Amino acid sequence: MARVLVVDDDHTVREVVVSYLRAHQHDVVEAADGETALRTMRDAPADLVVLDLMLPGIDGLEVCRQLRSTSDVPVIMLTALGEETDRVMGLETGADDYVSKPFSPRELVLRVDSVLRRTGSAPAPQRLVDGDLVVDEGAHVATRDGEVLALTVREFDLLRFLLAHPGTAYSREDLLQHVWGWSIGDHSTVTVHVRRLREKVERDPTRPERLQTVWGVGYRWEAAS
């Protein structure tokens, strides 16, 4: 997974962006100001920086300038300013892309993945294997006994997440946030996706061996022995 640094002084914006990026398997760290961002990059460099233009103290443009003096790390600038000159200044300072507020978190994740691929910083897609079950992230395909499973996008995301974290029990709320990036939502949505996924990956969906219910908690993936 790629390590992404999210820099924004708005806690709500950071929370949403971090949640979506983690749901898409990125390792995310955060900073609320420019000084903390620069210190973080010195101590534990990220693969990409999502950087707000308007920051207290050292603003986003100066953070980008300082990063560019020592690193070619990809930078996506966030800005609430609508003027073209502000966007141009960000790009001229060294930003690789920009997203204007208010923005769609899903669009931002797509921009992050696109910039990582374009700059060669994206980690290689994983191939997760559990017995006769294989999830190929690059091809976005899951197979069982060599047969392609007809999974929806949300079912594929759920299966990929569970295979990557076997043996850990997750509540329905955890799965809503970590898999799909939803901080709120109907927990019954998770129940429905789990039931449908069991029908496709279990030998006997009525007696699941892999996608198990943890009573009072939620669900846990048991890896094949």
Angstrom CA distances, 188 to 48, 177, 191, 192, stand at 35, 14, 5, 6
DSSP strand pairing (218-221 vs 169-171) = antiparallel
User: Which amino acid, residue 216?
Assistant: G
pLDDT of residue 173: 87
Q: Over the range 142-180, which residues count as b (16 or more CB within 10 Å of their CB) and which as e?
A: bebeeeebebeebbbbbbbbbbeeeeeebebeebbbbbb
The pLDDT, as a whole number, for residue 179 is 80
- Whether pTM > 0.95 for this model: the answer is no
pLDDT tens sequence for the chain (225 residues) = 789 999 999 999 999 899 889 888 899 999 999 999 999 999 999 999 999 988 999 999 999 999 988 888 999 998 876 656 666 777 778 888 888 888 888 888 888 988 888 777 666 667 889 999 999 987 889 999 999 999 888 898 899 989 988 999 999 988 887 787 665 567 788 899 999 999 999 999 999 999 999 999 999 999 886
Handedness of CA 196, 197, 201, 205 (dihedral sign): negative
Residue 197 confidence (pLDDT): 94
Q: What pLDDT is recorded for position 6?
A: 96
| pLDDT score, position 33 | 95
